[in-house]
């Protein structure tokens, strides 16, 4: 059960890390049309979670590379590195949770 709790904690902390305020600000200033297309995110996790998740998806698909603004490109690269780390942590948290649940089921039957 400890492994499941650890996995849930890793997953929850990773979700809290999904925030890109610098990139959202750069998009708002440099490319307002793209900012509105992404959903007008503020970049903070719980103030507008749905829009921040769309920005997270936009970053992971590397669509910031189509920008003409050097600031958006620079912030996009930073956000991409952070988004990849978050992605791996989310997967790790889910894997730990799944393994912990399997271990608990096995222990309950033995």
What is the rounded average pLDDT of the residues 32-61?
Answer: 83
Q: Are 101 and 9 in contact (CB under 8 A)?
A: no
Residue 19, SS3?
coil
Cα separation, 33 vs 39, in Å, equals 10
What is the rounded average pLDDT of the residues 61-80?
Answer: 95
Report the pLDDT value the prediction gives residue 6, as an integer from 0 to 100: 96
How many residues can be counted in the chain?
110
DSSP state of 44: -
What is the rounded average pLDDT of the residues 82-95?
Answer: 97
Q: Are 65 and 73 in contact (CB under 8 A)?
A: yes
Report the pLDDT value the prediction gives residue 46, as an integer from 0 to 100: 60
Cα separation, 109 vs 65, in Å, equals 52
Report the pLDDT value the prediction gives residue 47, as an integer from 0 to 100: 64
pTM strictly above 0.75: yes
Q: Inform me whether the pLDDT recorded for 48 exceeds 80.
A: no
Cα distances (Å, whole numbers) of residue 107 to 48, 95, 97, 101: 41, 18, 15, 10
Q: Inform me whether the pLDDT recorded for 75 exceeds 90.
A: yes
**Structural domains counted in the chain:** 1
Q: Inform me whether the pLDDT recorded for 12 exceeds 70.
A: yes
Domain extent, residue 79, equals 2-109
């Amino acid at each position: 059960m400890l492994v499941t709790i650890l996995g849930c904690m890793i997953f929850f902390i990773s979700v809290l890390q999904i925030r890109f305020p610098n990139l959202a600000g750069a998009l708002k200033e440099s490319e307002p049309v793209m900012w509105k297309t992404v959903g007008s995110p503020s970049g903070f996790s719980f103030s507008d979670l749905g829009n921040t998740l769309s920005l997270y998806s936009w970053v992971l698909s590397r669509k910031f590379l189509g920008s003409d603004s050097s600031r958006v490109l620079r912030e996009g690269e930073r956000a991409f590195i952070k988004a990849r780390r978050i992605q791996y942590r989310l997967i790790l948290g889910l894997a730990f949770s799944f393994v912990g649940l399997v271990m608990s089921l096995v222990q309950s039957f033995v």
